[in-house]
Amino acid sequence: MMANLPEDPDVWPAGVYKLERTDAADAGANGEGPLNLATVSLTGRTAYLKQESDRAWAMVEAVIAGEIGGFDKAVPAQLYAAIQNAIAEAIAAIPAVESVPVGTILICPADAPLPGTLALNGGLPLRATYPDLWAYAQASNNLVAEINWAAGRWGAFSDGDGATTFRLPDYRGEGLRFWDAARGIDIGRLLSDWQAGQMENHNHSFNYDIRTTGADGGWTAEFEAVAPRYGSSAVDSTSILATGLSENLMRNVAAHACVKY
């Protein structure tokens, strides 16, 4: 009489039995004999997978039917939207992690400051509106009186009106030079001190010939860009035609400086 092998959907068989040449040719009374062990393992795994698949599909059908989550019946687009919303809500529930410290200077390639920052344009924000940045300014050792800021300490914060505002550094049109901090290269500079453009001390020199000409023994000077043939004399009051622009420049790109608040 034909009978089916037992199937257990609640157990995942650890492996599939391998028949050995020495196994007895015995199917067993209930299918437990060596000839059936491999098949029983496979039927158990198949039953387990079908059971889990049926459970998952039943849940999907319940969602589509409106039994779970309040969906309209047979609207797959709503199911997709619900999954997207669930993901978005899970992300939104993650506590915000502040990765950029207050006071960090950021460079922005746009005319508006980055979100969470203020432009370093010498503005006067309210202390109450930006308490963290005001606290940073007070602790920075780079906070000056407004009168000193106006006199050239544009790279510092100022105390603003002394009551409700404070002033931001003004980096517009300026280049940055890192603070010397007693290294001895840029001697005497204060933190955030402004420095005008200048040229390193140097001189220009040229050689010229002096010859006697004429019956009266007068002197004339013939200037040449070569070593003199008859003599030379230092001249430190001679100037040459000026050329160039209003400041010394290196190649650069204009960018927007912002500070994290």
Element (H, E) at 258: strand 256-260
Cα–Cα distances (Å) from 1 to 4, 5, 31, in that order, read: 10, 13, 13
Supply the pLDDT for residue 127: 97
* Sign of the CA dihedral running 186, 190, 192, 194: negative
CA–CA separation, 217 and 90 (whole Å): 102
Region of poorest pLDDT, from 17-31, 45-59, 127-141, 194-208: 17-31
Q: How far is CA 6 from the centre of its chain?
A: 62
CA–CA separation, 255 and 98 (whole Å): 24
Supply the pLDDT for residue 190: 77
Region of poorest pLDDT, from 8-17, 90-99, 229-238: 229-238
Residue type at 240? Answer: I
Residue type at 77? Answer: A
Supply the pLDDT for residue 60: 72
- pTM more than 0.75: no
The arrangement of strands across the sheet holding 256-260 comes to: 105-108, 256-260, 117-119
Average pLDDT over every residue of 34-53: 75
Supply the pLDDT for residue 235: 45
Domain layout of the chain by residue ranges: 1-69
CA–CA separation, 211 and 222 (whole Å): 8
Total Cβ atoms within 10 A of residue 139: 10
